Amino acid sequence: MTNPFDLTGRVALITGSSRGIGLALAGALGEAGAHVVLNARSADALDVAADRLRGEGLTVDVRAADVTDADAVEGMIDSIEADVGPIEILVNNAGMQDRTPVLDFPVDRFRTLLELNLVAPFVVAQAAARRMVGRGRGKIINIGSVQSELGRPTIVPYTASKGGLNLLTRGLCADLGPHGIQVNTLAPGYFATELTEELVDDDEFSAWVASRTPAGRWGRVEELGGAVVFLASDASSFVNGQTLFVDGGMTAVV
Ligand code: NDP
């Protein structure tokens, strides 16, 4: 019997995957058999991450590129398709946080955040989908957040970007679904990474996360693996335009 979660030989590009959630997602896809391509701006960090995954027996390539640079994205997609193989799975994971109360939030910082969290996923998805359409198949997974649905003080631009990303998923589903492409959002709750380091170290905030989450704790990045493999594989062949929260129940309760 074939395993619908098997990704053997499929090329998967994960943006922002030199550390944190992106690296964990890449590891999970690689464990399921995918040939993973790691991306980030720092080539050194990518080499360290790739060595780690190769040490676990995974097949890994790296492409250093800034996903907010459309020309660099086009070059990256071209070179992967030419040298690694057709991209079957794209995970738009690169993202940033910026915390300041709204009355003081400078608009130029809002624009910088939007470029990475919302415009870049569009640009990378567009470049990848142009190739996927001709092949009649492909999986695009956008990494959202509980802030794709819920607001929180001091992070208005992040919330707007992740809410926008949720609807970017649905819009892409409308345009690309007829071409055999599935586009979904994977929305993590609170996970300990460099992005959330300050919050993890803040006892009051950590206590709030524990009390607000039915699971009673922060998530561990490896707990996102099952969901990304599901969304990247044939197991989700009729799942399109959806948001899958992996948040210990946070968005299910008030
Ligand atoms: P990290 O800050 O730990 O990692 C970010 C990664 O993105 C790094 O590999 C970084 O490498 C890369 N990156 C940053 N800017 C760019 C760029 N312009 N081009 C290419 N790569 C870039 O973040 P997390 O792992 O915590 O978060 C990953 C995603 O998950 C984000 O979209 C975030 O919003 C989302 N998320 C995180 C949650 C959490 O609790 N941590 C919760 C919900 C969602 P480099 O700096 O070398 O480019």
Q: Whose CA is nearest to atom 36 of ligand 1?
A: 145
Q: Which amino acid is at 78?
A: D
Dihedral sign computed on CA atoms, order 227, 97, 147, 217: positive
Does any ligand 1 atom lie closer than 6 A to the CB of residue 66? Answer: yes
Domains of the chain: 11-245 (3.40.50.720)
Q: Which residue of 13, 14, 15, 19 sits with most ligand 1 atoms within 8 Å of its CB, as the best mutation to test the pocket? A: 19
Distance 1 CA to ligand 1 centre (A): 37
Does any ligand 1 atom lie closer than 6 A to the CB of residue 18? Answer: yes
In degrees, to the nearest 5, what angle opens at C-alpha 32 toward C-alphas 30 and 37?
Answer: 25
Contact 121, 92 (CB under 8 A): yes
Predicted local confidence at residue 1, as pLDDT: 73
Q: Which residue of 90, 124, 159, 193 sits with most ligand 1 atoms within 8 Å of its CB, as the best mutation to test the pocket? A: 193
Does any ligand 1 atom lie closer than 6 A to the CB of residue 193? Answer: yes
Closest CA to 217 of 225, 204, 226, 208: 208
Q: Pseudo-torsion of CA 67, 68, 70, 73, nearest 10°? A: -10
Distance 203 CA to ligand 1 centre (A): 23
Distance, in Å, from the CA atom of 178 to the CA atom of 189, rounded to the nearest integer, reads: 31
Does any ligand 1 atom lie closer than 6 A to the CB of residue 22? Answer: yes
Tokens of residue 137, six digits? 């198949």
Please identify every residue annotated as catalytic: 158
Does any ligand 1 atom lie closer than 6 A to the CB of residue 237? Answer: no
At 38, give phi and psi (nearest 5°).
Answer: -85, 145
Distance 23 CA to ligand 1 centre (A): 10
Predicted local confidence at residue 33, as pLDDT: 98
Round to the nearest angstrom and report the end-to-end CA distance of the chain: 43
Predicted local confidence at residue 129, as pLDDT: 98
Per-residue tens of pLDDT for the chain, all 254 residues? 799 999 999 999 999 999 999 999 999 999 999 999 999 999 999 999 999 999 999 999 999 999 999 999 999 999 999 999 999 999 999 999 999 999 999 999 999 999 999 999 999 999 999 999 999 999 999 999 999 999 999 999 999 999 999 999 999 999 999 999 999 999 999 999 999 999 999 999 999 999 999 999 999 999 999 999 999 999 999 999 999 999 999 999 99
Distance 27 CA to ligand 1 centre (A): 15
Predicted local confidence at residue 221, as pLDDT: 97
Distance, in Å, from the CA atom of 131 to the CA atom of 121, rounded to the nearest integer, reads: 16
Predicted local confidence at residue 171, as pLDDT: 98
Does any ligand 1 atom lie closer than 6 A to the CB of residue 195? Answer: yes
